[in-house]
Structure 1
Amino acid sequence: MGTPYPTPIAPSQTRIGWIGIGVMGAAMASRLLSAGYSLTIYARTPSKSLSLQSQGALLASSPRDVAQYSDVVFTMLGHPQDVREIVLGSDGLLSGLNPNSVMIDTTSSHPALAREMLAAAREKACWAVDAPVSGGDVGARDGKLAIFAGGDGGVVNWLTPLFEVLGRATYMGEAGCGQSSKIANQIMVGANLLGLSEGLVFAERAGLDVKQFMEAVRGGAAGSMAMELFGERMIGRDFRPGGFAEYLVKDLGMGVDVVEEGEDERVVVLPGAALCKQLFSGMVANGDAKLGTQGIITVIERINGKS
C-alpha cells in the first residue's frame, strides 16, 4: 500500500475539515476542536456555524475550499443524496482534495455509495472511509460513539487518534461495510425503541407507575441502551432530537429494500424492520419528522386512542 497518509495524526500537524453541523455533527466537531485540532467548516446556513467559529473553527465558502485546506475531511449529513452532492458535485470535496488526503463519511448512508466514493478518491490518489456512528446526541457530546469503519484497514488504523476523540471505532471490513453495519444497527435500534414504547404504553394502561416500572426492569432482560438513552425522555415527553425520526425511516429503508449485487442476488427479508419502518413512517406522516426517534411512543399512543 505504500505510505498514502499526509502526516502523523497530531493536533499540531493535521488540518481537519468538517461538513454537516447539525445536532450530531456540531457536537463531534466541537470535541475535535477541544482536543486541539484546527477545523475548517462549511455550512449551507452560515449562522449555524457561529458556535464552532467561537471555538476557533474557520468558515469556508464551499466544500471544495474545505478540501483544499484539509488533510482529513469529515462529513455528517442527512441523506445519501446530500453526501453525493457534497462529495461528488461540481464544487464538491472531491474537486478540491489534495493528494493523500482522506474523506471520512459519518453519515448513515448507502454501502454502494461508500464504494463509489472510495473508487473516485483513489483516482485522485486520495482515500475515503465510511464510518457511520451510533450513540445519539449524548454519545456525540461525551465522546462515546460507536464508530463502524469501512475501507482500507491501514487508513482506518492511521485515523485511530481522531476516532478516539469521538468514541470507539471498530474496523468492519472493506468499503461499504461500515454502512452495512450501521443499517444492521438501526434495525436493532428501531426494534428496541418500538418494544420500549409498547412496554411503557402497556404499563401505563395497566395502571402502573411507569417510572417505577422502568426502574424495576432496566437491570433485567428488558434493559437496553435504548432504555438508558430514551426511556426517561419518553416518560417525560422530551422528544428533542438526538437523531431525527425521518432519518431512521431512511436507514430502515436501506435495510428493508436492500439488494446486494454479486453472483447471486440476495434479498434480505426483514419483517420486523418493515413494521418498524411503517410505524416510524406514520410518525413522519403525523408531522413529527423532526422529532427524536424516541417520539415513536406517540404513534403507539395514537393507535391506542391517546392523542
Structure 2
Amino acid sequence: MGKALTSIGFVGTGIMGGHMARRLAEAGFRVKAWNRTPDKAVALATDGVEIAVSAADAAIDADAVICMLSSGPVCDEVLLSEGGVVGAMRRGSTLVVMSSIPVETARGQSERATAGGLNYIDAPVSGGEKGAREGTLAIMAGGEVAQVEGLLAVFAPMGHVTHVGPVGSGQLAKLANQLIVASNICAVAEALLLAERGGADPARVREALLGGFADSTVFRQHGLRMVEGNFVPGGPAKYQVKDTGTALALARAQELQLPIAEQVDSLFRRLVDEGGGDLDHSAVFLTLKNMNQPGTSSPNNREWRIP
C-alpha cells in the first residue's frame, strides 16, 4: 500500500454500484467497470468510466477491484471461477467486496485471494440508492487495519468507512444493520397502518412524529414511501430477505434465538411470495395491508395485488 492507488476495477454497476463507480471516476480515479447486464455499465461511459468487456478485463492492472454484486454465490462465480476476477488481478492489489454476503463466504474468498498474493477486505455498505448517489454510505470494513487505512482515499467518495475487525466482521456488522433496518421498516409500516385504520391521516402522523424518539432515517425515507405509495426499489425486498435469511442462519449456527428477526423475516418472505420481490423493501406495508383486508387470512385469498 506504499504508492497511491489510482486505478479501480468495478464489478457490479446496479442500483447502487453504478453511483459508486461514477463517484470514484468523478473523484479522479481511473475506473474500469463491468456488469452482467451490459447496458447498466455502458451508461457510465458519459461519466468518465471505461467499460470492460468482462469481469476479468475490469480487474487487469487495477490497484484495487471493488465487487458490488447481488449475492454470495454470484460473487463466488464472478470472482473465483476459472478466468474470473481473482485470477486476473495483479499480485499485491486489493479485492474489496462491498456486496452483502455470508460471513463464511467472505472468509473463503479471503483465503483464495490471499493464496493468490492479493489483499482482501469485506466492506458492505448501508444507505441505499440515496446514500450511493450522494456519497454518504456507511461502510463497514473487515480485514487488516493497514489495508483498510490504505484505501481511505478510495472509500471517501462513496461514504464513511469504519474498520470493525478481521475479515468477515464487515459482513457481521451489515447483518446487524439489516436486522435493525428490517425490524424498523416493519414497525413503521404497522404504526402507519394503525394510524390510517383509526382514521388519522398517516402523512400527517408521520410529520407529527419527526424529531421525536420515533424518528429515524427509516422513518423519514420509508415512511414517506409508504404514505406516497412509492415502492420503486432503492433496496429490493428480495435482497432484504437474502440478508435476514443469512442473519437467521448464522444465529442458528451460534445457537441464538432471535424471535423478532424471525417474525420480520416471515413478513418479507410473504411480500416476496406475493410477487413483490422487486419492489422496495418498504412495500412490506402492502403485505400488512393485505393481511388486514377482510377475508384475506391466507395469501391466496385476497382482493388486491401488488402493482
Contact 1:6 1:71 in 2 (8 A): no
CA–CA distance in structure 2, aligned partners of residues 171 and 43 of structure 1: 28
Instruction: Give 3-state SS (helix, strand or coil) of 2:177's partner.
Output: helix
Q: Which residue of 1 aligns with 2:255?
A: 267
Q: Structure 1 103/299 Cα, relative in aligned 2: closer, same or farther at 3 Å?
A: same
Q: Which residue of 2 aligns with 1:254?
A: 246
Alignment partners' CA distance in 2, 1:46 and 1:6: 34
- 1:52 equivalenced with 2:38 (yes/no): no
Q: Could you report, residue by residue, the CA deviation over 1:230-287 in whole angstroms, capped at 9, with x for unpaired residues?
A: 1111111110111110001010011111158xxxx62221111111111101110111
* Alignment deviations for residues 125-146 of structure 1 (CA, whole Å, 9 cap, x no partner): 2111100000111111111110
Aligned-partner SS, 2:19: helix
Which TM-score applies when normalising by structure 2?
0.93
Cα distance in 1, alignment partners of residues 249 and 98 from structure 2: 21
Distance in 1, matches of 2:94 and 2:44, equals: 22
Q: Which AA in structure 1 matches 2:283?
A: G
Whole-Å separation in 2 of the counterparts to 1:212 and 1:161: 42
Amino acid at match of 2:111: A
Secondary structure in structure 1 of the residue aligned to 2:16: helix
* Cα distance in structure 1, aligned partners of 2:195 and 2:124: 34
Q: Sequence identity of aligned pairs in percent?
A: 35
Equivalent residue, structure 1, for 2:174: 182
- Give the 3 Å change call, closer, same or farther, for CA 6–26 of structure 1 in structure 2: farther
Is 1:304–2:292 an aligned residue pair?
Answer: yes
The residue that corresponds to 1:141 in the other structure is 133
> Using the alignment, how far apart are the partners of 1:53 and 1:97 within structure 2?
23
2-side partners of 1:87 and 1:268: how far apart?
32
Q: What secondary structure is seen at the aligned counterpart in 1 of 2:62? A: coil
Q: Which residue in the other structure is 1:7 paired with?
A: 3
C-alpha separation in 1, matches of 2:155 and 2:137:
9
Amino acid at match of 2:58: V
1:171-196 per-residue CA deviation (whole Å, 9 max, x = no partner) reads 01000000011011100001000000
CA apart distance, 1:69? 3.0
- Secondary structure, counterpart of 1:239 in structure 2: coil
Tell me which residue corresponds to 2:90: 98
What residue number does 1:284 align with? 272
**Which residue in 2 is equivalent to 1:111?**
103
Cα offset for 1:7? 2.5
Counterpart in the other structure of 2:300: none
Q: Which runs of 4+ in 1 moved over 3 A?
A: none
Deviations 1:66-118 (A, max 9, x none): 21131111111111100100111112111101011001111110111111111
Name the SS of the counterpart of 1:23 in structure 2. coil
Count of equivalent residues = 295
Q: What's the CA shift for 1:6?
A: 6.4
CA-based RMSD of the aligned residues comes to 1.3
TM-score by length of 1: 0.93
Unaligned ranges ≥5, structure 2? 294-302
What is the alpha-carbon distance in structure 1 between the residues aligned to residue 15 and residue 39 of structure 2? 14
Q: Does 1:40 align with 2:32?
A: yes
What residue in structure 1 maps to residue 63 of structure 2? Answer: 71
Partner Cα separation in structure 2 for residue 269 and residue 88 of structure 1: 34
Query: What is the CA–CA distance in structure 1 between the aligned matches of 2:3 and 2:233, rounded to whole Å?
Result: 37
Query: Do the aligned partners of residues 239 and 155 (structure 1) sit closer, same or farther apart at CA in structure 2, a change above 3 Å counting?
Result: same
Residue identity opposite 1:304 in structure 2: N
Which residue of structure 2 aligns with residue 27 of structure 1? 19
Counterpart AA for 1:141: R
**Gap regions ≥5 residues in structure 1:** none
User: What is the aligned partner in structure 1 of residue 148 from structure 2?
Assistant: 156
Query: Secondary structure in 2 aligned to 1:100?
Result: coil
Change (3 A) 1:183 1:208: same
Q: Identify which of 160, 177, 184 aligns with 1:192.
A: 184
**Which deviates more from structure 2 when the two are superposed, residues 272-281 or residues 116-125?**
116-125
Does the CA-based 8 Å contact 2:98-2:122 persist in structure 1?
Answer: yes
CA distance in 2, matches of 1:238, 1:80: 29
- The question of 1:120 aligning with 2:116 is answered no
Greater CA drift, 88-97 or 190-199: 88-97
Paired with 2:210 and 2:251, the residues of 1 have a C-alpha distance of: 37
* Code of the aligned partner of 1:279: L
